Amino acid sequence: MPAEDNALHTALLRLFDGNESMTNRALELMRPHQTQLLVSLIKESKLPAAPLSDTEIRIILGALSLIDSNNSKHFSGVGEREGRVHSRLVKERSFGFAHGIGRSGDLMEIQPKSLGSAILQRLTNRYALQALWACGIHKDAAKRALVLPCATGMAIMLALRALAKQFPGRKKVVWLRCDQKSALKAVGLAGLDLIVVENELSGVAVKTDMSNLRMAVDLHGPDNILCILSTTSCFAPRLPDDIVAIGVLCKSLNMAHLINNAYGLQSSKAVALINETVRVGARLDVFVQSTDKNFMVPVGGAIVAGPDGNLVDRIGMVYPGRASAAPVLDLFITLLGLGRDGLLSMLQQRKDTFKYLKQRLESDLPQGMRLLCTPGNDISMAIELSDHTTMLGSRLFHKCVSGARVVVPGQKVYEGDGVRIGSFGTHTEAYPCAYLNVASAVGQNREEIDRFMTTLVKALT
């Protein structure tokens, strides 16, 4: 084998976790149409610093999809799942990848009919891990990352099931109240018992109440508790949970610690908290983040990562059946189209727009309105509303403002999954005022903020 081929063989073997026969088969299938670009991507197995052009990405996708059996001219399918696609539109939309990812019972198992899809998936997992690092996550906190073909709530459910296999007999999940339904429904769907821990007020901010948490753990018994489920990215005035203290508690009492980091990759504070938890040796098993919220792809994917690569793998193993490759494909295309440099500037731009939005809110709000001070939350902000402004939500919505939410204490109740949570939306039973939530997430630009501010000021005066 020439040296050039040897390096490719080694790289592919690494991507395929040492599976020699699949590696050789993939190399053989690749050879007739392998491009230099694809070969070097596989050899590097690293997210390039510079963005790739759409044309380059198309060439890579074309070369990879030709490896899958459904795109081979010499193919005769006599099975019940041959990756046939009727519509040309659908074929285009999926770039010829029709076999999905995984095999029944394991997302990371290689399907011999679709080695191109397998390479795509494995490169994407690597890129996802490197994207996490580029966002500032320390290598000790994320040793492996797995892109799951479902959004955050479902990914949390899978992570819970993987943990439950590790701790048979433990049924309770202690959840630090964060009023968003995905995580709490995930606990119910996983067949586990949800225990809600109330937050405390600290000035106008809502934060983790460690003494409430300790009481709940004592009451239910650490030996019955599968994990503590905390949240790092949330709507102001709630702050990210004190995951360092929670991790210390989990470590001392041998309970797992699962973190919902939904849109936290773009938040320096959430990232710093995750790193600090691992740095001080506190417990962190897995953290889960959304692909759409952090990387601007359509809804449908999540990334699970953590310091224990085996646990990350086991999450892929609880997935029943084959899965859609679409969320993987979207992330692959997007990360290559951004490159590491593009990702870094996207994160920087978000920090700038957050600062700008905050500035505008501080200077332009009408008399009597105030921005609630929650410096621990660097994505979302809350503006105190007087009672007569609660119609504001629908007024803003009709002016095409999306994402601004009016929250009124005591208005909603969540009932389900064995719990009843009062004043749902405010993260605590006892928030003193109504408020408007706004956020700066990746992709937002100054013009949007300017338009929003004009609409808001008009609506309020």
Ligand X SMILES: *Cc1c(COP(=O)(O)O)cnc(C)c1O
CA geometry: angle 88, 92, 98, nearest 5 deg = 90
At 292, give phi and psi (nearest 5°): -70, -40
User: Could you report how far apart the first and last alpha carbons of the chain are, in Å?
Assistant: 76
Only segment of 146-154, 364-372, 418-426, 451-459 that touches ligand X (CB under 6 A): 146-154
Q: Which of residues 281-300 bind ligand X (CB under 6 A)?
A: 290, 293
| Of residues 112 and 416, the one with the C-beta less far from ligand X | 416
Least Å distance, CB 182 to ligand X, is 4
Q: Which of 260, 266, 277, 380 binds ligand X (CB under 6 A)?
A: 260
Q: Applying CB under 6 A, does 380 fall inside the site for ligand X?
A: no
Q: Which helix (H) or strand (E) holds 164?
A: helix 152-166
Q: Applying CB under 6 A, does 304 fall inside the site for ligand X?
A: no
Q: Applying CB under 6 A, does 226 fall inside the site for ligand X?
A: no
Q: Which residues have CB under 8 Å from 440's CB, separation 6+?
A: 350, 353, 354, 357, 379, 449
The dihedral built from the CA positions of residue 124, 130, 135 and 141, taken in this order, carries a sign that is positive
Q: Which of residues 152-171 bind ligand X (CB under 6 A)?
A: 152-153
Q: Which residues pair with 413 in a beta bridge?
A: 422
Residue 64 and residue 17: Cα distance in Å, rounded?
Answer: 19
| Of residues 65 and 260, the one with the C-beta less far from ligand X | 260
Q: Applying CB under 6 A, does 151 fall inside the site for ligand X?
A: yes
Only segment of 23-31, 71-79, 127-135, 226-234 that touches ligand X (CB under 6 A): 226-234
Token look-up 């599976």 returns: 19
Only segment of 202-210, 227-235, 355-363, 380-388 that touches ligand X (CB under 6 A): 227-235
Amino acid identity at 65: S
Q: Applying CB under 6 A, does 229 fall inside the site for ligand X?
A: no
Least Å distance, CB 180 to ligand X, is 4
Q: Which of 19, 166, 182, 212 binds ligand X (CB under 6 A)?
A: 182
The dihedral built from the CA positions of residue 84, 89, 95 and 99, taken in this order, carries a sign that is negative
Q: Which residues have CB under 8 Å from 196's CB, separation 6+?
A: 175, 177, 184, 419, 421
Only segment of 11-19, 175-183, 356-364, 400-408 that touches ligand X (CB under 6 A): 175-183
Amino acid identity at 448: E
Q: Which of residues 34-53 bind ligand X (CB under 6 A)?
A: none
Q: Applying CB under 6 A, does 379 fall inside the site for ligand X?
A: no
Least Å distance, CB 151 to ligand X, is 3
CA geometry: angle 5, 6, 10, nearest 5 deg = 115
Least Å distance, CB 260 to ligand X, is 5
Q: Applying CB under 6 A, does 11 fall inside the site for ligand X?
A: no
Number of residues that bind ligand X (CB under 6 A): 14
| Of residues 121 and 260, the one with the C-beta less far from ligand X | 260
Least Å distance, CB 364 to ligand X, is 27
Q: Which of 110, 128, 146, 183 binds ligand X (CB under 6 A)?
A: 183
> Distance of CA 133 to CAs 14, 127, 128, 367, Å?
20, 10, 9, 43
Burial (CB count <10 Å: 0-12, 13-18, 19+), residue 253? middle
Helix, coil or strand: residue 205: strand
Site residues, ligand X (CB under 6 A): 151-153, 178, 180, 182-183, 231, 233-234, 260, 262, 290, 293
